Amino acid sequence: MARLSVPARAIFLGIFTTILLSTAAWGTATETVLYNFCQQGGAYCYDGQGPNGEMVFDAAGNLYGTTTYGGAHGGGIVFELSPSQGSWTETILHSFCAQAKCADGETPEGALAFDSHGNLYGTTYSGGAYGYGTVFELSPSESGWTETVLYSFCSAGYPCPDPSGQDYADLGPDSGVAMDKNGNLFGVSVYDSFFELSPSGGGGWTKSVIYFVGNGDPAGVALDAAGDVYGVSNGVSQYPGGFVLELAAPDWHPSVLYGFTGTEAGKYADGYAPNSTPVFDKKGNLYGATQYSGTGKYTVGGTAFKLTPGRKGWKFKKLHTFTGKKGDGSQPLGPLAVDSSGNVYGTTYAGGVSQVCNDNGGYPGCGTVFELTPSGTGYTETVLWQFNNTDGESPMSGVILDKAGNLYGTTYQGGSGAGQPSGVVFEVIP
């Protein structure tokens, strides 16, 4: 295992020029780069390159995540960042492509999940026994972490049909997994194929397709207390702007909670292409984001939204329209985070005022971290941070909150590492 330390409060990279904001307020937050990937450089960026999935805390306050590329074999890594006496130390838990033909997986992109025993679970987009991705487990011991492939996608052979004959329902995932209270894993693979992976005794696992859309750019899933599965999908004829759905246990009956059909004034003023994993607050409200539209016509920008359950179904509320102009962000890709007061936090892939990233996702800017605060009947946006490449660029994975309300996330590019894209782990203190 490789270990590399950097000062946790060390690098305040970049001084912003005067910023005039009309669409969003500028916050008084501070950003600290906790780790710059690709510090060791080399052919593969041994310490990782291009983080692209949500991180997770353990009980001791250590952070865990993945990078899409890098590692000892170039197939990506699972990493741990541990705080100690004012610095953060990276430990590589697993470097993918350690086995012949990357049988242990390649290109991890989604979020990780812990079970009650401290084991980590995740997915890879490619690699595995058939080259089309895996679900894996990492188990800790005194001598390190051991990786086990629980399932290799495309087991029946390309075009990867599932037992019901639906083509392409068994291609690799890029959005991680969620675990229910019984130890079953749920996720989404390419073409919006929702799956369950269940322990089958003797150390084996059984994979079932619980719902197949056949289209879309998959995000991850959320689970409620009853074990129902929630997710999003894109681009079917009835809901051309995408939809939010619930799969009710135990038979996984599908229900559309909201469809983006342009029903508000203007075309897709409510949003287009929901590509972020939905999240719940403590009251059972569901939050998400769309990558595009929100301005009355199809355009790059995106929206943040809230769905509130009621006797007559779920009520949709648009929290914010992102414009990518005058400091506002554009294209929220990662899941949102909600604190106990109902404030909503997230990142945008583009937007902000930095001229370094002059054409990032359709708008200038290196991306932002934002807060949406309940205000009267609506929400007020505050841009907490605007990236400028040296402190990170192009966040794709949202943020998570610690107990003090500080925000932690990754950027896919930027930072001071030797490779491109390199990426960083950052902390924002509102």
pLDDT tens per residue, range 234-285: 877 788 889 999 999 999 999 999 999 766 555 788 999 999 999 999 999 9
Q: Domains of the chain, with CATH numbers?
A: 5-9+19-429 (2.120.10.30)
In the prediction, which pLDDT does 191 show?
Answer: 87
In the prediction, which pLDDT does 201 show?
Answer: 80
Which of 133-142, 156-165, 184-193 shows the lowest per-residue confidence on average (mean pLDDT)? 156-165
pLDDT band at 26 (very low <50, low <70, confident <90, very high): low
In the prediction, which pLDDT does 203 show?
Answer: 81
Cβ neighbours, 10 Å, residue 252: 16
Task: Check if the beta carbon of residue 337 is closer than 8 Å to that of residue 401.
Answer: yes
| Secondary structure in 3-state letters for 304-371 | EEEEEEECCEEEEEEEEECCCCCCCEECCCCCCEECCCCCEEEEECEECCCCCCCCECCECCCCEEEE
pLDDT at 421 over 90: no
Computed over every residue of the chain, the mean pLDDT equals: 88
Phi-psi region of 262 (alpha: psi -120 to 50; beta: other; left: phi over 0): left
pLDDT band at 296 (very low <50, low <70, confident <90, very high): low
What's the mean pLDDT in 5-10?
36
What's the mean pLDDT in 281-309?
89
| pTM summary value | 0.91
Which of 113-127, 155-169, 280-294 shows the lowest per-residue confidence on average (mean pLDDT)? 155-169
pLDDT band at 14 (very low <50, low <70, confident <90, very high): very low
Higher pLDDT, 11 or 104: 104
In the prediction, which pLDDT does 21 show?
Answer: 34
